[in-house]
Structure 1
Amino acid sequence: MELTKIRNWSDDELKIEEVKASEQLFRIRFQAKLGQNEGVKKLRELRKDIARIKTVARERAIGIHGAAPVAVSAAPVKAKKTKKEAK
């Protein structure tokens, strides 16, 4: 899945798709334990898709959308006086 497609989903769609992908991942892991090795590539894809979905959901929860957070100081900023103002 592409990240741009995931970002266009609503919050409800994100939850639904995460549940679907998690269930599918469980089934593929179960099949792998039974000796069916056909889903190895799909397993890797699903793990990455789930991570992408969770990342987008977390970005929305904390209010960022791909931009780096800006550090804000809690201390008030004092204006520096120039030499002329000090006299």
Structure 2
Amino acid sequence: DGEGRLIDFRNTIILLTSNVGSEYLISLSRDENTLPEEKMLAELLHTELLKFFPAAFLGRLTVIPYLPLRREALGFIINTQLK
């Protein structure tokens, strides 16, 4: 660190978030029946991410896409909050 101490990042998880590809992901998930399977979705998002991040950086990450909530989930949340 700035004071000369050694910082150890072993056994550390670092979470990064980005809105890159969010509009694309929303367009893909408009219809739950046509949403690509996980592997295909990861490949499609990887193409979008490469527009903003270097391949060497992405190669060191595990990308976990967050899908929009389904109507049933939104209904459950709304009902829970209104009680």
TM-score clears 0.5: no
TM-score, normalized by length of structure 2?
A: 0.30
More helix by share: 1
Larger Rg: 1
